[in-house]
């Protein structure tokens, strides 16, 4: 196995289960650090060359602690050392250095990589060049919803997966907002116009574990048939935490993140199909606002670093009751397309989960795609209740999709996370809404029903009482926001 | 103006400069301790075996299966310790315990060729435990009367008379949790043997000298056989003041026994489950005001949660008591302090060191009582500020109290407070589901270690023949910019440009017997020492220059790379257009050939300090740092979620040595304080289940630090102007800790926003941390009529004690160490290790063998 790191081809010869981070550090590239080993702090952020929709390359920031080193086979990686040196700064490094963006410096190489990815984002447009830019002004005349967009088009959410314990972030924000656009002759900018490295059909076997990269659906299904104990890994953002922190050492790992059949995004007349191995970032870009409810979800789904790797199939495959996509996908009445040697079958998501981290998926099946039926219900909202506004795990998550015709709720679909052993539909609340006026009185009555949905628990994220209270206020908030949008103050 | 604080013309101090390592940071070239592993051959890796019980006796330890794991080289146990089996300075922290005192306590350590082999080896170690009863919460410890260390009392006046004099008397309680440091770089040490059995340890430590001392006593060797170096730390915040020693000692022991380099790096889970945190506190109080809201008396008992060993709990408690007044004059006061002994990590130093906890008590009191008194909270605070001539409860005159008033007024102006308060009132009137709050809070923070002896520092300055300069000092760099400031001090004193000076990593064989880089004192102390060393050199060089220039040595000034016969700007030179001087480089060469010493050891000690911990009186602080903050928040009534919309800060850093660094400290400290008060949620398993005592939030995914989303959307920080501090290096003030406490403004703003959901004048109790859930319950409380937990007392019963004192009242202090064994837990250990400890203590000298309620800082 080989990988290109900072422009140099390097042999990849590592023990099984070695992370990309440990491998890079072992190569002497100690800029990337381990701060948490679970993709929360971003100190390990590096850039990988990923294909973009136009056939070129996107410099994509990911957490190196979550990527198996073997998954870098044939790939191209950039670290902070490759961006610039103390004698020849990259523009991102320069701004961070002179504006006080580093104090202890430990998180800094990771910030630099996340910032560089946003620096090279092709869609980044400065305010001067932005057509209709006024539409993005927030309440206080700030750019973006919460002033999280710089005049230079820098989206601060690009840094939401990087933690700094020293600076309080203001100087880092200033550095980000001070960046210009890449200049002529910037090799990394030019690199974007050439194709990204193709996936390699990696087969890597050691005594303590093996890694195989599937490059077709057939191959993935065959590998799964051969190795009944195989762990399917796409973005690896959940699984790697088991490996890094809880000592999981699976004998066989199959990488499916580059399987073409799992990476299609299609908008048909009666449904949208999202390939299971598309990352959340790729879906966000590919849908381009086509599903407003998903647009509410994306910025609240972990961090940009995670969304660049984590896949929609993976978020369902882990079966967590606190995954962020299920409440939304339940509200959208999505289906899960399962593929096996026998072909495809589609299961409604509402029937997919059978218990805590359990589902109807057979061992020989993999999730191929998610289907969202069209047309979409127009009144939608995603409420995520958590301690931290960016990059937290929800205590309660609610997805709403309602159709209101002539003041009457004709359909109501409500997905809930964090209030039961699986994501659930709030079916009693749906029934309490449907066929009735979308009025304050009816909403209040339905809200009381919703308060008693699920079986919330006490844990370190929230008390059961708070979870129930949040179920009880979600519908009131949706209604008030709906009235505000319609121009009728609540 | 004193010589120490006086600045020459065109000084390098005061310039806005980036961090001295910024270019290394951003390019990934800066090295931290664990980055050295790949650069060291033949390294062994260490992995702990951690207890699954909160409290248990270790009745069996079998290593055979671990030693069979391929790659495992050795398992370190108590039997391997040639010196003292203890990692602390109070001899209550066995390095290899026979009784585990908290969930996650390391029983032994496995050394192996790879980290993976060490991990597997640790999993194969068989330990038999006999579980013992455990105390997990501070309330459980109070109930069980499980205390450790001194129980000081700080008294001034007659608190009963004060409460009787008061016209409004309230009592209440507050309990608030600690805080995990979450330095991004976890604890790390690499130890290797030099020739002749000497040990060289690279450690991420704020206190290399103490790391050295602990390693020496564990190995049973003199301190001169151990050298500790700290390149830099990826954050410290107090978490690496005391905690690194044991890990360094394990690495050193492994190196000594195997002859190979040993690397010990904690992963995040290990770090957060094994190392100490900020102390949580419980406080019960009774407070009296007069009709105008002036504080008359405060009677309170503060109980800190010390965890399983004393660590720095006594000095932390002392600082908490010394800051319960914050910026306020309280004529009659009686504060009892005690340290709960619980089965948790050994709580330790954390930025502010008890100061924030003490201040939180009084700020919470004022925030809860202001609506009851019918006085605007900001006005209530201001009305109680110290004025000239008043003293603190521990007897120190409050110098520069006018600076509190100046910073307060500056914040009022900068924040346009009057207009914004009106706008917020209007916003709240017109919004049912969302409310805003705007609060101001002050900070007055004492600077110096409470314990006078620690207020000393050393430095070593070399001038090489080519004129380049190498400086070394006893302080460590953890991101606070100390080295940047020290370079600026040296450049200013020597009169050379910064590029002539390099600063070498902190090492115990360069500067001995250093104090921890802590108590915000790094720049004050080490700056004084560097300035002293540089002045020894310039005095010698001045003689050489004077002889060559034919002028008196006293007229020589060093600036801009020249030794000048007088300062042209002072206008007393014959021809200002032609400075009469000699270049630094020429002068250095000339001095060498004249056999003039071109290097010097500098020394500094803070003058005028004294402290008697037995009566809790003295003059422990060189000066006070002042600051004030105004924070505006917006709270959502449906969820309790909130945003910090704007923060204005005016802070007193004296004449700043390095403005970019100081503003970075203020902003970073503020956000870290806001994290403690609003977001960071340490949850321990308090159930009676099998994982009792386990830290439930032991990862970045469950213990949430402030991220970009917690940064104030509009963040304005100013330094107080005309703030020269007499008698401190180049007129500056310490900045590391005080700004953390400016974050009380956020907590009070949240309280006010939550209260706005109720009727005017509603008082609310806000849990800490003020997470969205806590704020939501505060909103519900406001909607239901407000806080009922504060009790107002009729004036004639006012002086009745606020809380039962468990029989130890005024005589509580001084019976310190014996208190540690009050619950019987660990008593056997303590005496066993103490017997070993005495000769080491005497050898080390720094700590008296039986200190009476020893107080650090």
Average pLDDT over residues A63-88: 97
Domain ends where: A135, A156, A191? A191
What is the distance in angstroms between the Cα of B618 and the nearest Cα belonging to chain A?
34
Asked if residue B248 and residue B236 are part of one domain, the reply reads yes
Q: Are B705 and A165 an interchain contact pair (Cβ–Cβ within 8 Å)?
A: yes
Average pLDDT, chain A: 94
Percent of chain B topping pLDDT 90: 89
- From chain A, pick out residues whose CB is under 8 angstroms from the CB of B432: 490
Q: SS3 sequence, A326-380?
A: HHHHHHCCCEEEEEECCEEEEEEHHHCEEECCEECCCCCCEEEEEEEECCCCCEE
The per-residue pLDDT for B104 is 98
Same domain, A135 and A236: no
With respect to residue A262, please indicate whether it lies within any of the assigned structural domains: no
Task: Kindly state whether residues A340 and A391 are assigned to the same domain.
Answer: no
Mean pLDDT, chain B, rounded, equals: 92
Nearest to residue A33, comparing CAs of A23, A20, A43?
A: A43
Residue partners of A156: CB distance under 8 A and separation at least 6: A144, A148, A149, A150, A173, A176, B708
Report yes or no on B615 lying in a domain: no
Q: Residues A170, A70: one domain? A: yes
Mutate to test the interface with B, among A100, A241, A304, A464 (most CBs of B within 10 A): A100
The pLDDT-based confidence of B580 (bands split at 50, 70, 90) is confident
Question: Please, what is the Cα angle at B343 between B342 and B347, to 5 degrees?
Answer: 70
How close A217 comes to chain B (CA, Å)? 33
For residue B856, pLDDT beyond 60: no
Tell me, yes or no, whether B368 lies in a domain: yes
User: Are A248 and A275 part of one and the same domain?
Assistant: no
Residue B650 pLDDT more than 60?
yes
**Is A14 within the bounds of a domain?**
yes
- Contact (CB<8Å) A97/B706: no
For B604-634, the pLDDT digits (tens) are 999 999 999 999 999 999 999 999 999 999 9
CB contacts of A91 in chain B (<8 Å) are none
Enclosing H/E stretch for B324: none
Task: Give the integer Cα–Cα distance in Å for B394 and B618.
Answer: 6
Based on the fold, state whether residues A85 and A129 are members of the same structural domain.
yes
DSSP-derived 3-state class of residue A155: strand
B49 and B191 fall within a common domain? yes
Instruction: Say if residues A91 and A120 touch (Cβ distance below 8 Å).
Output: no
Query: Taking CB atoms and an 8 Å cutoff, what residues of chain B touch A159?
Result: 708
∠ CA(A391), CA(A395), CA(A397), 5° rounding? Answer: 85
Residue B4 lies in a domain: no
Contact of B239 with B275, CB cutoff 8 Å: yes
Q: Do B303 and B170 sit in the same domain of this protein?
A: yes
Q: Report the C-alpha dihedral over residues A36, A39, A41, A45, rounded to 10 degrees.
A: 110
Nearest CB to A165: which of B182, B269, B433? B182
Q: Are residues A412 and A472 located together in one domain of the fold?
A: yes
A409 pLDDT higher than 60: yes
Q: Find the mean pLDDT for residues B285-301.
A: 98
Q: Is the pLDDT of residue B826 over 80?
A: no
Q: How confident is the model at residue B818 (pLDDT cuts 50, 70, 90)?
A: very low
B490 with B349, same domain: the answer is no
* CB atoms inside a 10 Å sphere around CB A6: 18
Strand A353-355 to B714-719 pairing: unpaired
Identify the domain boundary among B537, B572, B605: B605
ipTM of the complex: 0.96
- Indicate if the pLDDT at residue A14 is higher than 80: yes
A272 and A149 together in one domain = no
Q: How far apart are CA B540 and CA B546, in angstroms?
A: 10
Q: Is residue B692 part of a domain?
A: no
- What does the DSSP 8-state code read for residue B144? T
3 state SS of B811? helix
Q: The domain that contains A388 carries what CATH number?
A: 3.30.390.50
User: Is residue B663 within 8 Å of B779, Cβ to Cβ?
Assistant: no
What predicted TM-score, i.e. pTM, was given to this entire model? 0.94
Token digits for B290? Answer: 């007069």
Where is A424: in which H helix or E strand?
strand A424-425
The mean pLDDT of B173-185, rounded to a whole number, is: 98
B526 belongs to a structural domain: yes
**Packed helices B744-755 and B772-783: angle between N→C axes, nearest 10 degrees:** 40
The residue in chain B having the minimum alpha-carbon distance to the alpha carbon of residue A481 is B433
- With a CB cutoff of 8 Å and minimum separation 6, the contacts of A461 are A386, A387, A393, A394, A395, A418, B702
Where residue A3 falls among pLDDT bands split at 50, 70, 90? very high
pLDDT bin (cut points 50, 70, 90) of residue B803 is: very low
Residue A135 CA to residue B32 CA, distance in Å, equals 46
Note the pLDDT of residue B821: 31
Residue that is last in its domain, among B274, B296, B322:
B274
Q: What CATH number does the domain containing A228 carry?
A: 3.30.43.10
What lies within 8 Å, CB to CB, of B689 at 6+ separation is none
Determine how β-strand B295-305 pairs with β-strand A343-348.
Answer: unpaired
Q: Mean pLDDT throughout B481-490?
A: 98
In a domain, A280, yes or no: yes
Give the total number of structural domains in chain A.
4
Q: Quote the pLDDT of residue B563.
A: 97
Instruction: Tell me, yes or no, if B737 is annotated catalytic.
Output: yes
Picking from A329, A296, A292, the residue whose alpha carbon sits closest to that of residue A424 is A329
What's the structural domain count of chain B? 3
pLDDT for position B797: 55
For residue B217, what are the domain limits?
A: 33-134+181-274
What's the confidence (pLDDT) of residue B850? 33
Select from B274, B305, B328 the last residue of a domain. B274
A100/B18 CB distance under 8 A: yes
Residue B572, pLDDT score? 47
User: Is 70 exceeded by the pLDDT of residue B834?
Assistant: no
Comparison of pLDDT for B572 and B840, the residue scoring more? B572
Which residue in chain A is spatially nearest to B662 when comparing CA positions? Answer: A100
- Asked if the structure places residue B613 within a domain, the reply is no
| pLDDT score for B195 | 85
Measure CA of the first residue to CA of the last residue in chain B; give whole Å.
27
| pLDDT confidence of residue B798 | 53
Q: Could you tell me which residues come within 8 angstroms of residue B595 by beta carbon, excluding any fewer than 6 positions away? A: none
CATH code: domain of residue B509: 3.30.365.10
Of B540-554, B581-595, B828-842, the range with the lowest mean pLDDT is B828-842
How many Cβ pairs within 8 Å bridge chains A and B? 258
Same domain, B498 and B580: yes
Residue B746 — very low, low, confident or very high, per pLDDT cuts 50/70/90?
Answer: very high
Please report, for the domain that includes residue A307, its CATH number. Answer: 3.30.465.10
Contact B22 A98 (CB under 8 A): yes
Q: How far is CA B278 from each of CA A283, B221, B275, B347, rounded to the nearest angstrom?
A: 42, 32, 10, 6
A447, containing H or E segment: helix A440-451
Residue A135 scores a pLDDT above 70: no
CATH number at residue A34: 3.10.20.30
Asked if the model's pLDDT at residue A138 lies above 60, the reply is no
pLDDT band at B277; cut points 50, 70, 90 = very high
- Give residue-wise pLDDT tens across range A194-204: 999 999 999 99
Q: Do B595 and B661 share a domain, yes or no?
A: no
Q: Are residues A230 and A162 in the same domain?
A: no
Tell me: pLDDT of B569 over 80. no
Same domain, B487 and B624: no
Distance in Å, alpha carbon of A353 to nearest chain B alpha carbon:
24
Q: Which of B535, B680, B737, B748 is catalytic?
A: B737
Positive or negative, the Cα torsion across B134, B138, B144, B145? Answer: positive
Domain presence at residue A260: no
Q: Domain boundary at A373, A403, A424, which?
A: A373
Asked if residue B839 has pLDDT above 50, the reply is no
**B186-199: per-residue pLDDT in tens?**
999 999 998 888 99
In this structure, the answer to whether residues B582 and B625 fall within a common structural domain is no
Average of per-residue pLDDT across B682-690: 96
User: What is residue B574's predicted lDDT score, i.e. its pLDDT?
Assistant: 52
pLDDT band at B755 (very low <50, low <70, confident <90, very high): very high
Q: Is residue B704 part of a domain?
A: yes
Q: Which two tokens stand for residue B441?
A: 């809070």
Residue among A36, A98, A164 minimizing CB distance to B18? A98
* CA–CA separation, A150 and A141 (whole Å): 12
Residue B855 above 70 pLDDT?
A: no
List the domain range (segments joined by +) for residue A424: 379-486
**CB spacing of B702 vs A79 below 8 angstroms:** no
Domain boundary (A355, A373, A391) is at A373
- Comparing CA positions, the residue from B21, B202, B37, B168 lying closest to residue B115 is B37
CB contact under 8 A, B668 and A30: no
Residue of higher predicted confidence among B2 and A443: A443
Nearest CA in chain B to A170: B711
Longest C-alpha distance within chain B, in Å? 87
Check whether residue A138 and residue A39 sit in a common domain: yes
């Amino acid at each position: 196995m080989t990988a290109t790191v900072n422009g140099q081809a390097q042999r990849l010869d590592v023990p099984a289960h070695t992370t990309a981070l440990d491998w890079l550090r072992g190569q002497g590239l100690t800029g990337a650090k381990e701060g948490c080993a679970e993709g929360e702090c971003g100190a390990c952020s590096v850039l990988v060359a990923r294909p973009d929709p136009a056939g070129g390359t996107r410099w994509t920031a990911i957490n190196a602690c979550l990527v198996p080193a073997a998954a870098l086979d044939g790939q191209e990686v950039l670290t902070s050392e490759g961006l610039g040196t103390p004698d020849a700064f990259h523009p991102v490094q320069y701004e961070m250095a002179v504006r006080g963006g580093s104090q202890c410096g430990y998180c800094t190489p990771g910030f630099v990589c996340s910032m560089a990815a946003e620096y090279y984002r092709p869609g980044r447009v400065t305010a001067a060049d932005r057509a209709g830019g006024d539409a993005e002004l927030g309440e206080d005349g700030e750019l973006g919803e919460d002033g999280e967009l710089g005049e230079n088009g820098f989206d601060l959410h690009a840094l939401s997966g990087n933690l700094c314990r020293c600076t309080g972030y203001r100087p880092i924000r200033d550095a980000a907002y001070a960046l210009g656009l890449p200049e002529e002759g910037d090799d990394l900018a030019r690199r974007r116009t050439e194709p990204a490295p193709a996936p390699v059909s990696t087969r890597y076997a050691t005594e303590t574990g093996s890694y195989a990269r599937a490059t077709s659906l057939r191959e993935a299904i065959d590998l799964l048939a051969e190795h009944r104990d195989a762990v399917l890994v796409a973005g690896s953002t959940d699984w790697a935490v088991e490996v890094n922190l809880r000592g999981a050492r699976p004998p066989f790992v199959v990488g499916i993140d580059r399987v073409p059949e799992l990476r299609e995004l299609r908008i048909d007349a009666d449904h949208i199909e999202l390939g299971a191995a598309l990352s959340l970032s790729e879906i966000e870009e590919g849908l381009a606002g086509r599903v407003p409810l998903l647009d509410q979800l994306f910025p609240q789904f972990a961090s940009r670093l995670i969304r660049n790797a984590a896949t929609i199939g993976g978020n369902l495959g882990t079966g967590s009751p606190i995954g962020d996509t299920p409440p939304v996908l339940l509200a959208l009445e999505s289906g899960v397309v399962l593929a096996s040697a026998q072909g495809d079958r589609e299961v409604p998501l509402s029937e997919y989960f059978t218990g805590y981290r359990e589902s109807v998926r057979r061992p020989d099946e993999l999730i191929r795609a998610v289907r969202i039926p069209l047309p979409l219900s127009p009144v939608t909202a995603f409420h995520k209740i958590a301690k931290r506004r960016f990059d937290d795990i929800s205590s309660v998550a609610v997805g709403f999709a309602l159709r209101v015709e002539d003041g009457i709720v004709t359909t109501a679909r409500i997905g809930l996370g964090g209030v039961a052993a699986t994501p659930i539909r709030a079916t009693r609340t749906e029934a309490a809404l449907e066929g009735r006026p979308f009025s304050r009185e009816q909403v209040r009555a339905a809200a009381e029903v919703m308060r008693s949905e699920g079986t919330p628990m006490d844990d370190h994220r929230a008390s059961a009482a708070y979870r129930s209270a949040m179920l009880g206020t979600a519908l009131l908030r949706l209604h008030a926001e709906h009235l505000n949008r319609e121009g009728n103050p609540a | 103006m004193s010589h120490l604080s006086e600045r020459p013309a065109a000084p390098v101090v005061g310039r806005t400069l980036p961090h001295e390592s910024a270019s290394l940071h951003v390019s990934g070239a800066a090295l931290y301790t664990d980055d050295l592993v790949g650069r060291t051959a033949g390294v062994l890796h260490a992995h702990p075996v951690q207890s699954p019980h909160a409290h248990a006796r270790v009745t069996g330890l079998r290593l055979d299966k671990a030693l069979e794991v391929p790659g495992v080289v050795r398992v370190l146990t108590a039997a391997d310790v040639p010196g003292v089996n203890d990692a602390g300075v109070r001899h209550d922290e066995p390095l290899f315990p026979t009784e585990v005192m908290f969930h996650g306590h390391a029983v032994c350590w496995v050394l192996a060729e790879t980290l993976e082999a060490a991990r597997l080896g640790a999993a194969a170690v068989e330990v038999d435990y006999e579980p013992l009863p455990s105390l997990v919460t501070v309330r459980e410890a109070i109930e069980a009367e499980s205390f450790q260390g001194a129980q000081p009392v700080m008294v001034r006046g007659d608190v009963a008379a004060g409460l009787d004099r008061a016209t409004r008397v309230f009592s209440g309680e507050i309990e608030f949790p600690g805080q995990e440091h979450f330095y991004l770089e976890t604890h790390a040490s690499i130890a290797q043997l030099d020739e002749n059995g000497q040990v060289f340890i690279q450690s991420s430590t704020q206190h290399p000298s103490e790391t050295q001392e602990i390693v020496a006593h564990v190995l049973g060797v003199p301190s001169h056989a151990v050298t500790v170096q700290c390149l830099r730390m990826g954050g410290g915040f107090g978490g690496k003041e005391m905690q690194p020693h044991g890990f360094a000692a394990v690495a050193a022991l492994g190196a000594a026994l195997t002859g190979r380099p040993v690397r010990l790096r904690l992963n995040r889970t290990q770090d957060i489950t094994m190392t100490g945190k900020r102390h949580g506190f419980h406080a019960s109080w009774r407070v009296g005001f007069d009709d105008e809201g002036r504080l008359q008396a405060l009677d309170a008992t503060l109980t800190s949660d010390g965890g399983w060993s004393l660590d720095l709990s006594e000095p932390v408690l002392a600082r908490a008591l010394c800051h319960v007044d914050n910026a306020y004059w309280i004529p009659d006061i009686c504060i009892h302090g005690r340290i709960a002994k619980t089965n948790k990590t050994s709580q330790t130093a954390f930025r502010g060191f008890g100061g924030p906890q003490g201040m939180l008590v009084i700020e919470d009191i004022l925030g809860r009582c202001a609506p009851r008194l019918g006085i605007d909270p900001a006005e209530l605070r201001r009305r109680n500020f110290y004025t000239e001539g008043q003293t603190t409860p521990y007897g120190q005159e409050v110098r520069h109290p006018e600076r509190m008033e100046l910073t307060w007024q500056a914040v009022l102006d900068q924040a346009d407070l009057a207009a914004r308060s009106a706008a917020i009132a209007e916003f709240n009137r017109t919004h049912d589901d969302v409310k805003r709050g705007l609060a101001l809070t002050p900070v007055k923070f004492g600077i110096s270690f409470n314990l006078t002896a620690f207020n000393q520092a050393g430095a070593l300055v070399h001038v090489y023949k080519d004129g380049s300069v190498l400086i070394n000092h006893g302080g460590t760099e953890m991101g606070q910019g100390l080295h940047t400031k020290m370079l600026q001090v040296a450049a200013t004193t020597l009169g050379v440009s910064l590029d002539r000076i390099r600063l070498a990593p902190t090492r115990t064989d360069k500067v001995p017997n250093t104090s921890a880089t802590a108590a915000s004192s790094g720049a004050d102390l080490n700056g004084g020492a560097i300035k002293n060393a540089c002045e020894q050199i310039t005095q010698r060089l001045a003689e050489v220059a004077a002889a060559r220039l034919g002028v008196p040595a006293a007229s020589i000034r060093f600036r801009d790379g020249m030794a000048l016969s007088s300062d042209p700007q002072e206008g007393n030179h014959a021809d200002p257009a032609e400075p009469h001087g000699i270049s630094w480089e020429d002068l250095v060469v000339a001095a060498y050939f004249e056999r003039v010493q071109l290097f010097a050891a500098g020394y500094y000690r803070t003058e005028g300090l004294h402290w008697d911990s037995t009566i809790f009186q003295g003059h422990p602080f060189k000066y006070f740092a002042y600051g004030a903050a105004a924070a505006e928040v917006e709270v959502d009534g449906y969820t309790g979620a909130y945003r910090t919309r704007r923060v204005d800060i005016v802070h007193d850093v004296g004449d700043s040595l390095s403005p970019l660094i100081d503003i970075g400290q203020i902003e970073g400290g503020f956000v870290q304080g806001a994290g403690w008060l609003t977001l960071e949620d340490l949850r321990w398993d308090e159930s009676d289940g099998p994982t009792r005592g386990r830290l439930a939030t032991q990862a970045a995914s469950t213990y949430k630090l402030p991220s970009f989303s917690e940064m104030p959307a509009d963040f304005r920080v100013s330094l107080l102007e005309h703030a020269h501090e007499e008698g401190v290096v180049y007129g500056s003030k310490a900045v590391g800790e005080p700004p953390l406490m400016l974050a009380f403004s956020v907590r009070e703003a949240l309280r006010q926003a939550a209260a706005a959901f109720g009727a005017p004048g509603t008082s609310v109790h806000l849990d800490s941390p003020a997470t969205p859930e806590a704020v939501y319950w505060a909103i519900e409380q406001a909607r239901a009529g407000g806080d009922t937990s504060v009790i107002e007392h009729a004036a004639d019963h006012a002086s009745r004690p606020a809380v039962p004192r468990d029989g130890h009242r005024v005589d509580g202090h001084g019976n310190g160490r014996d208190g540690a064994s009050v619950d019987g837990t660990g008593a056997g250990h303590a005496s066993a290790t103490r017997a070993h400890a005495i000769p080491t203590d005497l050898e080390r000298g720094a700590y008296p063998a039986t200190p009476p309620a020893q107080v650090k800082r």
